Amino acid sequence: MGAQIFGACFGLLAVILGAFGAHALKKKFTVDQQQSFETGVRYQMYHAVVLIIVGKLYEGTTLYGLISSLFVVGILLFSFSIYGLCLSSAFGRKLRFLGPITPLGGLLLVSGWALLLYQFISI
């Protein structure tokens, strides 16, 4: 049930942040910032849906907690570091320390997918 709650929360936030980025921040963002922000939203939404499915299909399995955790932390590090980079840059104080966090989040997302693949194969 935890993965489904996280999935629903992340899905809700993805819609809100997507609308916010497309409308409220459109004039503040450069084209590159807009595209980066949209990438964060898109990956967040993809993984929100996966969390809901994983929670429904695999709750109680051996790898469920680890897969879910990798996706949750991966979303936080990947998408939210992108949001922070874009917003801080748009408002003149780019938080450069967030730059190395984004690929770490991506690595966690890849690891979650790899374990999900392993889960499929081992059934």
Tens digits of per-residue pLDDT, 109-119?
Answer: 999 999 999 98
Q: What's the predicted TM-score (pTM) here?
A: 0.93
Tens digits of per-residue pLDDT, 4-19?
Answer: 999 999 999 999 999 9
Label residue 122 by pLDDT band (50, 70, 90). confident
Q: Angle 101-121/64-90 helices, nearest 10 degrees?
A: 160
Question: What is the DSSP annotation of 15-81?
Answer: HHHHHIIIIISTTTS-HHHHHHHHHHHHHHHHHHHHHHHHHHHHTTSTTHHHHHHHHHHHHHHHHHH
Look up tokens 């790899």; give the residue: 114
